[in-house]
Structure 1
């Protein structure tokens, strides 16, 4: 509660406190988000799909024990980053320990979230999964929804964190000084996020109705790779500053490429040639 109040009414103080825990926060977010990306990379649900990036992606999607591979790659990322941070900081415990603990807790938080989700979606009698969310066990669906909200919210928060939004807002005068002026800006920001979330929900529901996501077959892959790149950027930011232009545009570039490769250019070209006279 004090952190929320400080973020709204004293953004300058909040920025300073956030800077103190940023290494642990970035390590936590990188490990968690990488595991979310690994669900797609190693195809943990064994869904049938067409590979976006060719044979390598297809091979990774068919590996045995995909969940083990997810944990191994996340652990490797945490270990490698910790070693590099330790070397850079002369193995200072005050610098190294937050990175190690942050990454470890990120993996633990992901496993805990998935355990809660699996438990919430498990039918009470083991057979009728359609009954989940109805009757006396209706509250279980809300437990599952909370894991989804936590996962999505963490991704959004870490994206804004690596964009350095808190520091720039509090340091450049956009929010003004510590005071009530920040409350108005926070309300505008919350309203904008709310409108964007509603628009996105309506857009995706219409895409589902029109089978648009099935036609744009690589759009899901692009969204997954955005998460993978975000995790790598978070790990990298522990070692070197990330240019703002990279952070600001990587998602748009990846999604744009996924959209462009999903469009039926060949079919359009053949149709255009048939329509030409002669």
Structure 2
């Protein structure tokens, strides 16, 4: 129990502080204790939803984090938390509403505090571009993993083995993502088609840029050894953009639960902190090496999330379905790993 507590102590403390803040925010807006309790309940629901939607994110974070130096691991857990909690859950929505409504961030903050319904309406109006951008980035992440040439460990071999062979084709993941974007753009209303395509292309460009920076930092010239600190900078950047892509849909989807930006920030921020704690536990305990198919399940879940983000621009898909599908792939890959371990226990 004490061993587990060392991973979750900070997350539990933040959840207590967040719960207190959520209660007083709800009481302030409603003027009643019941309103405060309702806000506390909504923040808790958002936290649970964020954790369920982001467990695959924690697995991918752990895959990258274990390659980083201890210094950059700590920075991911400090700077990264600040970026995830305050940057993506507070600053990003304010900037987005500011751009859409032509407001400066302060005016956007005032609108969020005094006119939450109007603020939520503006935020939701940007759903198509956000979903296309985040979905394209996440699809690139998933496809890059499955199209990796020479990949010899397969969970669902009938699917993964042929896909790995296609990885010999240069930039095949870009072609597949572009085709997917084009297909889904055909289902958009006329004035959203170009927005969807352009945002999706920018998602692809962002992935290529981040991946390229990481490759550059991890590739020493002929006279140098690999600088792990430089390589860790590229991995840190990759993780932050990945986290941002995961949070896009969650931030927009949260407005279906409440239109109060501050409750959303608290709920999703607490959830993001727990995801960080899960990440560290996975790295420290070597869970990824112990369960050989867990990575596969996480990347399947990311691919499914990308498709759901695209489909969500056409028809609303409840976040519960998204969370359950992701959890199902993670659970099945874990069970398959346990079964494989038992079968090969003697060897």
TM-score by length of 2: 0.61
Q: Which residue of 2 aligns with 1:193?
A: 272
Q: Deviations over 1:226-264 (max 9, x none)?
A: 011001111111222214442231111111111111113
| Structure 1 gap segments, 5+ residues each | 176-181, 272-278
Q: Which residue of 2 aligns with 1:29?
A: 134
Q: Which residue of 1 aligns with 2:37?
A: none
Q: 2:195 aligns with which of 98, 117, 120?
A: 98
Within the alignment, does 1:166 sit opposite 2:255 as a pair?
yes
Q: Which residue of 1 aligns with 2:144?
A: 39
Alignment of 1:181-260 (within 5 A): 183=262, 186-187=265-266, 189-194=268-273, 196-208=274-286, 212-260=287-335
* Cα distance in 2 between the residues matched to 1:111 and 1:250: 27
- Contact (CA 8 Å) 1:34, 1:227: kept in 2 or not? yes
* Cα distance in 1 between the residues matched to 2:279 and 2:171: 33
Q: CA deviation at 1:203?
A: 1.2
Q: CA deviation at 1:59?
A: 1.4
* Cα distance in 1 between the residues matched to 2:168 and 2:341: 37
Q: Which residue of 2 aligns with 1:116?
A: 213
TM-score by length of 1: 0.75
* Cα distance in 1 between the residues matched to 2:272 and 2:217: 28
What count of residue pairs does the alignment treat as equivalent? 240
Q: CA deviation at 1:141?
A: 3.9
- Contact (CA 8 Å) 2:130, 2:248: kept in 1 or not? no
Within the alignment, does 1:61 sit opposite 2:164 as a pair?
yes
Decide which structure has the larger Cα Rg and report it: 1
Inter-CA distance 126–60: structure 2 relative to 1 (3 Å threshold):
farther
* Cα distance in 2 between the residues matched to 1:37 and 1:189: 23
| Structure 2 gap segments, 5+ residues each | 1-90, 96-104
- Contact (CA 8 Å) 1:120, 1:144: kept in 2 or not? no
Q: Deviations over 1:127-186 (max 9, x none)?
A: 411x342xxxx5x7435412321122322333x146x2123221xxxx4xxxxxx64763
Q: CA deviation at 1:9?
A: 3.5
* Cα distance in 1 between the residues matched to 2:271 and 2:174: 36
Greater relative contact order: 1 or 2 (C-alpha under 8 angstroms, separation 6 or more)? Answer: 2
* Cα distance in 1 between the residues matched to 2:317 and 2:258: 18
Report the secondary structure of 1:118's partner residue: helix
* Cα distance in 1 between the residues matched to 2:167 and 2:319: 38
What is the aligned-residue RMSD (CA, Å)? 2.9
Regions of 4+ moved over 6 Å: none
